[in-house]
Amino acid sequence: MLEEIKARLDAAVPGCRSEMILNGSPSGQHSLLLDSAHAVEAATFLRDHAELRFDYCSNVTGVDWLEAQHSPGYLEVVYHLYSMEKKRGPLVLRLRTENRTDKVHLPSLTPVWRSAEFQEREIFDLYGIIFDGHPDLRRILMWDEFEDHPMRKDYVEPDDYEYEPTAHDDILAKAKQHAMGKSQEP
């Protein structure tokens, strides 16, 4: 089925580069990696094509590939699509940034599937991916002044816990070390 969808997509969207990503796990959920330049047009085709009708985006998540094979690493967004009309899915779509530092822009698919709006905001907040064309791209979980992205694999959490002590031993230990002026190194 995925091969057929890829063939239709490549034929219908001129210049679109899609690649099948095979998944050898027991779930066997293979996916399509789309180039970001044609992602919105490809997504619109998948939603509107009479025989496909992937009209529902159930889940959007981020992935941090700190160091990928032959690559300095990149960030990835994964969309799970279903056709309510045709009763099929999921179709798993992937978009990748060029790197993890200064080329972290991807097109928003919220204009195609409204259900992606809050999930793209969460990915923006926690991974730092900037979704061009998003209708309301702002932090959703962290405060505006927060300067990092806590779901990235290289994130180092602060040691200055300024809230009430908790019964969790590891948090108490970190708070005590901070109070004594000792910082924990990762």
- Residue-wise pLDDT for 106-127, tens only, equals 999 999 999 999 999 999 999 9
Based on the fold, state whether residues 7 and 53 are members of the same structural domain: yes
The tens digit of pLDDT for each residue in 10-25 reads: 999 999 989 999 988 8
Based on the fold, state whether residues 32 and 83 are members of the same structural domain: yes
Residue 158: the pLDDT is: 78
Based on the fold, state whether residues 112 and 173 are members of the same structural domain: no
Based on the fold, state whether residues 186 and 169 are members of the same structural domain: yes
Provide the domain limits for residue 171. Answer: 156-186
Tokens at 36, concatenated: 């970001």
Confidence (pTM): 0.84
Pairwise CA distance, residues 11 & 22, whole Å: 21
Pairwise CA distance, residues 171 & 67, whole Å: 29
> Which domain CATH number covers 65?
3.30.460.80
Structural domains of the chain, count: 2
Based on the fold, state whether residues 148 and 168 are members of the same structural domain: no
Segments of the chain with pLDDT less than 70: 68, 70, 160-167, 182-186
